Amino acid sequence: MVSPLILVNLKTYHEGMGQNAHRIAAAAETVGRESGVVIGIAPVFTEIRPMSQHYAIPVYAQHIDAITPGAHTGHILPEEVRAAGAHGTLINHSERRLTLADIDACVQASRRLRLESVVCTNNDSTSAAAAALRPDYVAIEPPELIGSGVSVSKADPGIIERSVNAVRAVNPDVRVLTGAGIQSGECVKIAVDLGTSGVLLASSVVKADDPEAVLRDLVSLI
């Protein structure tokens, strides 16, 4: 069986972040190596290259733009994200929504560039729609639970189950992640038992005094 994926989105949390981001990446590398669970990190764009060079963990962009090389200013070119060493990318995160046409173009660019694509969604209908675009992962995250400290696994397991079924019905090759408020091994176990291939999370690791201890707990029951 393929290892579940624990994907830590560092967002733009900033306080002490330069140092903290590297501390989290080092912890992800250690805990990932010891547990055999794949722990990936999605840092800010400027940290993609240093992180992919220094740590043996998959590094993800938090976003790419649906553009091709040429005259664009202030955009994120998928080719540059790949060249910086990214293994994959989030697409359509709740805090960075895109149009359907742009999500499609981003998934296609990811496929062409061999970037793993993780399309974020907010409910089972959008999960089904995203699955039709054939990304590697659909990540269902109820927006009202993001950053709330209340885990989707416990507060709304039904949305995970419905999304897994919706995605499987459209394309069984697309794997499902879930996120929002994920904070413990128990949350991860519930998500995996409901048919997901792992979790997408942020605050419980990024804001922790001891991120390595939280990561150890997250992988403890899978």
Ligand X SMILES: O=C(CO)COP(=O)(O)O
**Binding site per annotation, positions for substrate:** 9-11, 146, 181, 202-203
- Stretch 67-126 residues interacting with ligand X (CB under 6 A): 93-94
In the bound state, the residue with its beta carbon closest to ligand X is 203
Instruction: Give the interface segment with ligand X, choosing from 28-36, 45-53, 125-133, 200-208 (CB under 6 A).
Output: 200-208
Cα gap 97→174, rounded to integer Å: 20
Q: Say if residues 2 and 173 touch (Cβ distance below 8 Å).
A: no
- Going residue by residue from 3 to 42, which x/- string records binding to ligand X, judged by CB under 6 A? ------x---------------------------------
At its nearest, how many Å lie between ligand X and the CB of residue 94?
Answer: 6
201 lines the binding site for ligand X (CB under 6 A): yes
> Helix or strand or coil: residue 207?
coil
Size of the site for ligand X (CB under 6 A): 15
Rg from Cα positions in the chain: 16
> CB–CB of 11/95 below 8 Å?
yes
Q: Is 202 in the site for ligand X (CB under 6 A)?
A: yes
Is 72 tagged catalytic? no
Residues 6+ apart with CB under 8 A from 108: none
Among 200, 214, 215, 222, binds ligand X (CB under 6 A): 200
3-state secondary structure at position 116: strand
Question: Would you call 141 a catalytic residue per the annotation?
Answer: yes
Of 110 and 153, CB closest to ligand X: 153
Q: In what order do the strands lie in the sheet with 88-91?
A: 38-42, 5-9, 198-201, 175-179, 137-140, 116-121, 88-91, 60-61
3-class secondary structure, 15: coil
User: Are the CB atoms for 10 and 18 separated by under 8 Å?
Assistant: no
Q: Which of residues 48, 84, 115, 146 is near ligand X by CB under 6 A?
A: 146
Q: By CB under 6 A, is residue 52 in contact with ligand X?
A: no
Active-site residues: which are they? 93, 141
Given the rule CB under 6 A, which residues bind ligand X? Answer: 9, 93-94, 141, 146-147, 179-182, 200-204
